[in-house]
Structure 1
Amino acid sequence: MERALNFNAGPAALPLEVLEKAKDEWLNYSGTGMSILEMSHRSPEFESVLNHAKKLLTELLDIPETHEVLFLQGGASLQFSMVPYNLLTEEKRAYYVLTGVWSEKALAEARKLGETITAATAKPKNYTTIPSLDDLQLRADAAYLHITSNNTIYGTQWPSFPDTGSIPLVADMSSDILSRPLDISKFGLIYAGAQKNLGPSGVTVVIIKKDLIREDASHLPAMLNYHTYYKNNSLFNTPPSFAIYLLSLVLEWTKKNGGIAGIEDINRQKAALLYKTIDESDGFYKGHAEKPFRSQMNVTFTLQSEELTRKFLAFAKEEGFKGLNGHRSIGGCRASIYNAIPLAHCEKLADFMLRFKKMN
Structure 2
Amino acid sequence: MTRALNFNAGPAALPEEVLLQAQKQLLNFNDTGMSVMELSHRSKDYEEVHNGAQAQLRNLLQISNEYEILFIQGGASLQFSMVPMNLLTEGKVGSYVLTGSWSEKALKEAKKVGATSILASTKEENYKSIPQLNLDNLEANAAYLHVTSNNTIYGTQWQSYPDVSVPLIADMSSDILSKSLNINQFGLIYAGAQKNLGPSGVTVVIVKKDLLHTTVDHLPTMLNYQTYSQNNSLYNTPPTFAIYLLKLTLDWVESQGGISAIEQKNNEKAKILYGVIDESNGFYSGHANQNSRSNMNVTFTLPNEESTKEFLTLAKENGFVGLNGHRSVGGCRASIYNAVPVEHVIQLAEFMKKYRQKG
Q: TM-score, normalised by structure 1?
A: 0.99
Asked if structure 2 preserves the Cα contact closer than 8 Å seen for 1:29 and 1:35, the reply is: yes
Residue 135 of structure 1: how far off its partner (Å) = 6.3
Amino acid corresponding to residue 212 of structure 2 in structure 1: I
Matched, 1:277 2:257: no
Residue 136 of structure 1: how far off its partner (Å) = 6.6
Matched, 1:336 2:322: no
Q: What residue is the counterpart of 2:191 in the other structure?
A: 192
Structure 1: any 5+ residue segments left out of the alignment?
Answer: none
Aligned-partner Cα distance in 2 for 1:149–1:136: 21
Q: What residue is the counterpart of 1:68 in the other structure?
A: 68
Asked if structure 2 preserves the Cα contact closer than 8 Å seen for 1:120 and 1:135, the reply is: no
Aligned-partner Cα distance in 2 for 1:187–1:70: 15
Residue 140 of structure 1: how far off its partner (Å) = 1.7
Asked if structure 2 preserves the Cα contact closer than 8 Å seen for 1:86 and 1:214, the reply is: no
Asked if structure 2 preserves the Cα contact closer than 8 Å seen for 1:178 and 1:197, the reply is: yes
Residue 65 of structure 1: how far off its partner (Å) = 1.2
Aligned-partner Cα distance in 1 for 2:133–2:99: 13
Aligned-partner Cα distance in 2 for 1:104–1:343: 33
Q: What residue is the counterpart of 1:11 in the other structure?
A: 11
Q: What residue is the counterpart of 2:287 in the other structure?
A: 288
Equivalences for 1:148-297 in 2 at 5 Å? Answer: 148-165=148-165, 167-214=166-213, 217-297=216-296
Q: What percentage of residue pairs aligned between the two structures are identical?
A: 64
Amino acid corresponding to residue 233 of structure 2 in structure 1: S
Residue 133 of structure 1: how far off its partner (Å) = 2.6
Residue 348 of structure 1: how far off its partner (Å) = 0.1
**Deviations along 1:310-329, whole A, 9 cap, x unmatched?**
00000000000000000011
Aligned-partner Cα distance in 2 for 1:215–1:290: 39
**Deviations along 1:229-259, whole A, 9 cap, x unmatched?**
0000000001000000000000000000010
Q: What residue is the counterpart of 1:79 in the other structure?
A: 79
Q: What residue is the counterpart of 2:346 in the other structure?
A: 347
* Segment of structure 1 superposing worse, 206-215 or 170-179: 206-215
Aligned-partner Cα distance in 1 for 2:96–2:191: 17
Distance 1:127 1:215, change over 3 A: closer
Q: TM-score, normalised by structure 2?
A: 0.99
Secondary structure at the aligned position of 1:95 is classed as: strand
Amino acid corresponding to residue 340 of structure 2 in structure 1: I
Q: Which 4+ residue blocks in structure 1 deviate beyond 4 angstroms? A: none
RMSD between aligned residues: 0.8
How many residue pairs are counted as aligned between the two chains?
A: 359
Aligned-partner Cα distance in 2 for 1:232–1:89: 24
Aligned-partner Cα distance in 1 for 2:73–2:347: 36
Asked if structure 2 preserves the Cα contact closer than 8 Å seen for 1:302 and 1:333, the reply is: yes
Aligned-partner Cα distance in 1 for 2:136–2:61: 27
Q: What residue is the counterpart of 2:324 in the other structure?
A: 325
